[in-house]
Structure 1
Amino acid sequence: MSTKSPLLVDSSAASPGLVATDLIDDLETTSVEESLNSVRHYGSIAIQKSEPSVSPTRLKIILGCLFVNVFLSALDSTIVATLLSIIASDLNALPYLSWIATSYLLACSAFQPLFGKISDIFGRKSITVFCALLFAFGCLFCGITNSFWVFAIGRFITGIGGGGFNTLSTITLSDLIETRQRGLYQGYMNIAFGMGTASGGVIAGIFQNFFGWRSAFLIQFPICILSGALVLLFLELPDGSPGRGVQGSSIWKKLKHMDFIGSILLVASLLFLMYAASSGGRDFPYSSKQFIIPVVLGTTQIIIFYFYELKVASQPVIPVQLLHNRTVLSSSLNCWFISMNVFSILYFVPLYWLVVKDLSSIDSGNRLLPSAVAISLGSVYAGYRIKKTGKYKNALLFYGALTTLGSILVYLLTPSSSALFEYLVLVPSRFGTGAVITVDLIAMISSVLPEEQALVTSIQYGFRSTGSTLGVAIASAIFQGFLLKDMKFNISHLEHIPDKYKSDPDKLQIIIEKALQSTSYIRSGCPEFAREAIISAYSSSTHMVFVFVVVTGLIATLCSYFIEENSLER
């Protein structure tokens, strides 16, 4: 009788977790019976010979809450992509656009790896309810505030809760479902994640058109409160389950098990680097100390974080020692640049459609749907191709080339592009990135010992989440830097400028400042003579972001050349 392997979850795509598990189940030839005689821990994942069960009704309620939590977490990772310029304009914060885009992602990046260990200490139920409250009140702050900084803080709080949702839902599923059935239920959870990712832009567009952008956040508040209440009432794990947390210890003793220093170093480094990326070249020149100091501090923090996690931390937030493995490092860097590619496209292609093409939020969101399907198909196709052939290296190079080709197609977007082209333009890159993410996971776990598979999976999550955060920050810096320069150049070279503006250059400067602060000003309040010049500046600056997208695709493909082909027979 065969025993299935522990599920390897990939929460950043639609279904690779299920594919990876299926692959390992089919390709393993050695018995795992001996490994089931003991419990192996990393974070909060445990493999046990016997697993707890609950009544069918209670199980359905709990799983429903977990699926809703995963859906909301995925939804909020994409919901502001369509609303980005609208929110920034309404809050008069277009120059700080990167903070709107990255505050949620930053929190997920920094806190998602922590919740496994936290829930081992304090229990699944209490930490899941805590994350639901964080997520709910973060959305509430975003929906009621008129302050940009309160909105950014609200998104950060929401991101902490969303990161917890991703981790805790998977772990709690392992507590509740026996190993043989876990892959099936994880498949259901992946569907919830995929639906959330795919529908973020559409849901945002619908709420924006009918109720205003604030309603897209406010509607999530009661849903999270209800989910948290149901978890509190119905999630009861049997005695002896690791999901109940450490019993009989004070809070202070439990807190001693936390890697606070590593987490603080990671968050601090990302904050410094994001600040430099979003402000450099716009608020101050790249040669200034205001830019250099944050870059030096952020880089120093990353280095300190690496050595602390390697030499000091007893329960590291990211197990960096495995980065000495060539395939693990190459796969991690591949994921890092792929994440930069994916999220830069996700945030700036809709901005291009909204401003340059003057599409509605719904039309922009609809154009993202085929790409959401493509990334799911890419991951499934890549996984089952490996299952059939047992090989992945050449296929990985092909998927990387497809990602680069798709990135070039994004660069070829023009105001005259047809609707059909816009619906299909993201499909090649998304199919390629979905496949790359799946193959990276298989390559990483095939290059290490079985007991290290959970560790390298955690590393991949860390690189993917930090890559998405820094990618959006860098893309935003590129966009802001070129937008101001191009706008000044275009307006200063207009052939027909009314006399009242020629005689008073300050009036031209006011037009530029208003166009930088609010995209709605371009269509409603901007003088006719300057409108096309401003739209042209938005077009050229977003295309500079698309150059960055092409570069990240190329670098990711280059990294894949250093990934070794390992046997999958074990």
Structure 2
Amino acid sequence: MQKSSSEDSTHKEKFTEVTKQEELAQKVADAHDNILSSKQIIIVFAAMATALFLSFVDQTSITVALPHIAKDLGAEKTISWAGTSSMISNTVFMVLFGRFSDIFSRKYTMIACMIILAFSDLACGLAQTPTQLYVFRGFCGIGNGGITSLTMVIVSDIVTLEQRGKFQGILGACVGLGNAIGPFIASGFIQHQTWRKMYFTLFAIIPLATLIIHFIVPYTKPVGNMKEKIKNVDYGGFLLSSIGIIFILIPVSGGGSSFEWNSALVIAMLTIGSISVVCFIIYEIKFARLPLIPIKLFYTNISLSLLLSQNLFFGICYYSAVYYYPYYFEVIRDYSITLSSCYLLALVLPQSTISIIGGQVISRSKHYWHVMLFGYSSWIVAMGLLNLWTVDVRKGVNVGTLVLNGLGVGCIFQPTLVAAQAHSFKRDRATIISTRNMLRSFGGAVGLAISSTVIANTFLKNLKLTGSQHFNKEQLDYLKTQLYSRVDLTQYSLEQSQYLKSIYMDSLRKIFYIWMGCIAFCFVTNLFIKDKGVKPLDG
């Protein structure tokens, strides 16, 4: 009887603690409800769309510029860290922004992220060494992570869930436009000026957008005084999640190239990272006053759990594709940076168009599953067509693959957010967005890390096995430093050029196989998601 009484007491304490967490979360979230009139919505939404557009211009402009930046800074073997460092910091801080904006203010957290991005871009333009560039790109990742999450959170505050499909679809179109224009901006500066001036220009533009947000976006006053707000911050959760993410992603990014997989450093970091993730989960369940990520989201609703897991694999494919499609066109097809940017339009323009259409379909039909099914179906066909990509495949195959890929992304990027919010409570609105974006960014960081490792290891292995048949020792030593650079093929004979292209292609094809598996997982799991309409669980 004593044992039973003790167990009842323990269960009661757990129930009370969970209730306190949920009550606090509800109280904090309610302070930000701010449904606006149609005219006000359009004005605020325009400001959010502008911020998101600039964020993705910053993220994707570097993709076509990487070979040129690598050559300028002498970073041909390590330039992939420019993308990886940004994604790592993006992921680390993404988990903080949802709850941070709950506790303090959506508006001023957003402004802080815009300022961080602006000055980080200035620092990137002034960078003199590869290490400086990677550090400053890391700070850009912090700003971009906040902007990406908070634009979606603010839009969720000012419109109902029934309207959200339409507005989030337009935000998805802004993502596509940013992805489209970013490479063109970069190519223009590289061909006529320098990649540094691209960052100086962003530094000049972003503060103007920040001023617009300051004057236009309404301020919603969070509950509690400053002492209570500081008390509500989940310091332990942020510390443990940061250690876990950083200590896992760094060795994954450099394993096999920067570090040996069996080195003490890699083993130690992976061990510390894994232990930190486990400790983070325990801390969020048992000790956090207001958890950064309510762990119950992953086991109380199967559909929500599947939606969140899809975003992890979505991120692996999406961010890797944004970086490595230009790699294919510039390094393997030997196209100019401008022509490579033109090919990317076949990806991003369908993405923008279908995102708007898909958002309208969701808002009008009040359902999202069929839009997501079409998206994953298009995407998986595109992944299959990647098997046809070779050094000299017909251009129509490249374009057709990119169009289908863009249609898939457009029907997934924002509809998964609407679906996730439909399977959650209003009090979890901000944390759902930050958790979903964090998982997508974590997937992107893992995808970039795996991709760079696969390319480096495959390229070096092929050179070691057969390179001596085509090049002398001096040429081989030079080529081993050109993993991510655009090699001047005019220095080599036709036979040597074809050989180089073939081993670059072999390296890239292995990444395609990883993407195929990830999207196959998303397609299959989507079949088990229940679509109960676009209303949150609490109405």
Scaled to the shorter chain, the TM-score interval is 0.7 to 0.9
Give the match for residue 226 of structure 1: 208
Within the candidate set 408, 425, 436, 2:401 is matched to 425
Which residue of structure 2 aligns with residue 9 of structure 1?
none
1:541 is matched with 507
Residue of structure 1 in register with 2:321 after alignment? 345
* 1:291 matched to 2:266: yes
CA distance in 2: counterparts of 1:300 and 1:483, whole angstroms: 33
1:407: Cα distance to partner? 1.0
TM-score, length of structure 1 as denominator length: 0.78
Q: Offset of 1:214 from its aligned partner?
A: 1.7
Q: 2:119 and 2:366 mapped to 1: Cα distance?
A: 47
Contact 1:44 / 1:117 at 8 angstroms: preserved in 2? Answer: no
Looking at structure 1, the residues matched to 366 and 167 of structure 2 have their Cα atoms a distance apart, in angstroms, of 25
The code of the aligned residue for 2:339 comes to D
> What letter corresponds to residue 537 of structure 1 in structure 2?
I
Q: How many Å separate the matches in 2 of 1:143 and 1:389?
A: 47
**Higher mean displacement: 181-190 or 75-84:** 181-190
1:141 Cα deviation after fit: 1.2
In the TM superposition, residue 489 of structure 1 has moved relative to its aligned partner by 2.4
1:14 counterpart residue number? none
For residue 181 of structure 2, the aligned residue among 183, 190, 199 is: 199
In structure 2, relative to structure 1, the CA distance for the partners of 1:244 and 1:406 (3 Å cut) is: same
Equivalent residue, structure 1, for 2:79: 97
Within-5 A mapping of 1:93-132: 93-124=75-106, 126-132=108-114
Q: Which residue of 2 aligns with 1:362?
A: 338
State the 1:451 CA deviation.
Answer: 5.2
* 1:411 Cα offset (Å): 3.2
Matched with 2:238 is: 263
Stretches of structure 1 that go unaligned for 5 or more consecutive residues are 1-37
Q: Distance in 1 between matches of 2:335 and 2:26?
A: 52
Q: How far apart in 2 are the matches of 1:183 and 1:436? A: 12
| CA separation of 1:304 and 1:98: change in aligned 2, threshold 3 A | farther
Structure 1 residue 119, shift from structure 2 partner: 4.0
Which residue does 2:32 correspond to in 1? 46
Structure 1 pair 539–393 and aligned structure 2 pair: CA distance change class (3 A): same
Deviations 1:338-389 (A, max 9, x none): 2211122211121011011111111111111121122234445555555676
1:416 aligns to 2:369 (yes or no): no
Deviation readout 1:244-283 (Å, 9 max, x if unpaired): 4567636xx6433222222232222222222222221223
Distance 1:455 1:538, change over 3 A: same
Aligned residue number for residue 142 of structure 2 = 160
Distance in 2 between residues matched to 1:182 and 1:438, nearest whole Å: 10
Contact 2:95 2:438 in 1 (8 A): yes
Q: Take 1:142 and 1:315, find their aligned partners in 2: how far apart are those partners?
A: 35
Matched residue type, 1:133: I
Indicate how the Cα distance of structure 1 residues 334 and 477 shifts in structure 2: closer, same or farther if over 3 A, else same: same
Q: Secondary structure at the match of 1:97?
A: coil
Change beyond 3 A, Cα 1:333–1:179 = closer
- 1:494-505 equivalent positions in 2, closer than 5 A: 494=470, 501=472, 505=473
Per-residue Cα deviation, 1:167-217 (whole angstroms, up to 9, x for no partner): 444555677789999888767655544421332222222222221222221
SS of the aligned residue for 2:80 comes to helix
146-155 or 302-311, larger mean C-alpha shift: 302-311
Residue 482 and residue 454 in structure 1: after superposition, are their counterparts in 2 closer, same or farther (change >3 A)?
same
AA matched with 1:342: Y
SS in 2 for 1:313: coil
Match for 1:136: what amino acid? A
User: Which residue in 2 is equivalent to 1:301?
Assistant: 276
Find the partner of 2:254 among 279, 283, 295. 279
Deviations along 1:13-68, one digit per CA (max 9) or x if unpaired, are xxxxxxxxxxxxxxxxxxxxxxxxx99456687225x86999x8xx96x7665443
Match of 1:23 in 2: none
Q: Distance in 1 between matches of 2:236 and 2:528?
A: 32
Amino acid at match of 2:115: L
Question: Is residue 44–residue 120 contact of structure 1 (8 Å, CA) maintained in 2?
Answer: no
Deviation at 1:541, TM superposition (A): 0.7
Is 1:492 paired with 2:492?
A: no
For the structure 1 residues 245 and 364, does the alpha-carbon distance in structure 2 shift closer, same or farther, using more than 3 Å as the test? same
Q: Secondary structure at the match of 2:391?
A: coil
Question: Which residue of structure 2 aligns with residue 141 of structure 1?
Answer: 123
Describe how 1:303-452 pairs up with structure 2 within 5 A: 303-324=278-299, 325-383=301-359, 396-397=372-373, 399-438=375-414, 440-449=416-425, 452=428
Q: Is the 8 A contact 2:76 2:482 kept in 1?
A: no
Name the count of aligned residue pairs: 512
1:249 to 219, 222, 226: 226
Distance 1:338 1:356, change over 3 A: same
Deviations along 1:507-556, one digit per CA (max 9) or x if unpaired, are 2442333433x624443656877444333221211111112111212222
Q: Deviations over 1:420-445 (max 9, x none)?
A: 33233212123223324455445444
Residue 511 (structure 1) aligned to one of 457, 465, 478: 478
Q: In 1, are the aligned partners of 2:173 and 2:355 still within 8 Å (CA)?
A: no
Q: State the Cα deviation string for residues 228-256 of structure 1 (Å, max 9, x = none).
A: 34555x3585xxx5x34567636xx6433
Output the CA distance in 1 between the equivalents of 2:357 and 2:209.
34
Deviates more, 1:181-190 or 1:426-435: 181-190
Q: How far did 1:89 drift?
A: 3.0
Residues 303 and 432 of structure 1, relative CA distance in 2, 3 Å threshold:
same
CA contact under 8 A between 1:72 and 1:162: conserved in structure 2? Answer: no
Q: How does 1:59-70 map to 2 (within 5 A)?
A: 66-70=48-52
> What SS does the corresponding residue of 1:46 show, helix, strand or coil?
coil
Structure 2's unaligned 5+ residue stretches are: 1-23
CA contact (8 A) 2:254 2:449 kept: no
CA distance in structure 2 between the aligned counterparts of 1:179 and 1:448, rounded to whole angstroms:
11
Structure 1 residues 381, 350: closer, same or farther in 2, change over 3 A? same
Moved more, 190-199 or 350-359: 190-199
1:106-146 Cα shifts (integer Å, max 9, x gaps): 22222234334434554455434432321111101111212
Matched, 1:555 2:521: yes
Residue identity opposite 1:46 in structure 2: H
1:474 paired residue among 428, 446, 450: 450
CA RMSD of aligned residues (A): 3.7
Whole-angstrom distance in 1 between the partners of 2:287 and 2:336: 52
How far apart in 2 are the matches of 1:151 and 1:375?
30
1:426 is paired with a residue of what secondary structure?
helix
> Helix, strand or coil: the match of 2:194?
coil
SS at match of 1:368: helix
* Counterpart for residue 10 of structure 2: none
Offset from partner CA, 1:458-512 (integer Å, 9 cap, x none)? 4322322211221111111111111111122231233xx5xxx4xxx4x244233
Partner of 1:75: 57
One-letter amino acid of the structure 1 residue matched with residue 279 of structure 2: I
Q: State the alpha-carbon separation in 1 of the partners of residues 393 and 180 from structure 2.
A: 23
Conserved? CA contact 1:102–1:469, under 8 Å: yes
